[in-house]
Amino acid sequence: MPQQFQRRQSQDDQFDNVEALRTREAEDAAAARQTNSKADQGDALDSILDDIESTLESNAEEYVGNFVQKGGQ
């Protein structure tokens, strides 16, 4: 009887270890996706800022004029 209990406990421990490993792998995968997503967002923001910078370099007066209200509008 004690051997059966010990065997059952050993199987439970193995199951717990497998579940812990799966959980850890899932958490690692989620963290990797989040990191990739943040990197993609950073790249998109850099692209937008580059577009604004190039527009300002070529025609800053017109660009700013589009945002300034004229004559109380």
pLDDT digits (tens, 9 = 90+) for 29-61: 888 888 877 778 888 999 999 988 888 888 888
**Ranges of each domain in the chain:** 13-72
Q: Give the span between the Cα atoms of 62 and 67, in whole angstroms.
A: 9
> What pLDDT score was predicted for residue 61?
83
Q: Give the span between the Cα atoms of 14 and 42, in whole angstroms.
A: 42
Instruction: Tell me the two tokens of residue 40.
Output: 């993609």
């004029």: which residue's tokens?
A: 65
CA proximity to 21, closest of 13, 33, 32: 13
